[in-house]
Amino acid sequence: MLIAMAEHLELPCPWRLTLTAAWNLAESLGLPVVGYLIGSRVGGRDAGMIAATAVVWLTVIGRKVFTSSVPGLLTISALVLTLQSVVVIMTGSLLFFLLQFPLANLGLCLLFARTAPTRKPLIAQLAAEVVALRHPSHHAGLHKFFQGATWLWAGIFALSTIGMSVLMVLETTKVFLLLTTAVTIGGIVVGTALSAFWFVRVLHRFGLKVRFGAS
């Protein structure tokens, strides 16, 4: 029985899966956005950046104190926001304000690339935390997938860094910000689609199935 279970992946029941994913996204993205909106309304852009960074680090501390662990997505959010806030506030320059976008993508590229060849690639950690995916850690095929998918996302962030850097030089500020949004959304959509397609092929190749746990 244990051997059979080990060759399958498990997700929580749909409502718990939705709740888990929503909670992770809310604390990593939603709370900093709320902090930025409140801070910027009170004291302008710099105050908004400080508020967003403070909110995410308070969330990190709260997670560490009450659960003894900090989710990878929350850590990424804290590091990226800190980098962006330092660049924006310390320089006060439009050029460096724009530079925060390619720098943030470069930081993400390095973060994913650093974990890709290790025993704990970042995509595996995010899958476990964001959607509570349980899988056989000893499975060589799955481990190679998680490593490869982590390299894939490192490459996507590298391409985004290059693309944003070129746009920053060639385009006006307004056009740059619009195209940066498009590049970011496009990269996420492409990366998610490729990762999902690759994941399904891995499951099919090794005869693995995804099961939903009981509520």
pLDDT in tens, 155-177: 999 999 999 999 988 888 888 88
**Residue 27's pLDDT is what?**
85
> Between the CA of residue 27 and those of 37, 60, 120, 192, what are the distances in Å?
15, 9, 23, 21
* 12 vs 194, residue with greater confidence: 194
Give 112's pLDDT tier (boundaries 50, 70, 90): very high
Q: Which of 32, 149, 115 is nearest to 81 (CA)?
A: 32
**Residue 213's pLDDT is what?**
67
pTM for this predicted structure: 0.75
pLDDT in tens, 68-85: 888 888 888 898 888 888
Radius of gyration of the chain (CA): 19
pLDDT in tens, 36-66: 889 989 988 788 889 999 999 999 999 899 8
> Tokens 């060639």 label which residue?
170
Mean pLDDT for the chain overall: 84
* DSSP 3-state of 76: helix
Q: What average pLDDT score do residues 73-99 get?
A: 80
Q: What average pLDDT score do residues 186-201 get?
A: 90
